Amino acid sequence: MARIIFLIGTDGKIEQHVIKAKGKACLRLTARLEKELGQVLNRRLTSEFYEEPSTVAEEPLRQKTVI
């Protein structure tokens, strides 16, 4: 699951870091927030941006309980 981490500096500038979102998914996740927060001053894309998104749906882990 993708996560967004926000860091707010003492000068009021907000940094957002997107984790576990591959390809352009990170841009889709943050588009509305960026529109509401104001002008983007700087964008640094990580290596995850250049990775292909997974086409296989991930299944949740299931535990087997033995009693």
Q: How far is CA 15 from the centre of its chain?
A: 12
Q: Residues 23-54: pLDDT tens digits?
A: 888 899 889 988 888 888 899 988 888 888 76
Q: Could you read off the pLDDT of 3-28 as tens digits, one per residue?
A: 989 999 999 888 999 988 888 888 99
Whether pTM exceeds 0.85: no
What phi and psi values does residue 46 have, to the nearest 5 degrees? -90, 175
- Determine contact, residues 41/52, Cβ cutoff 8 Å: no
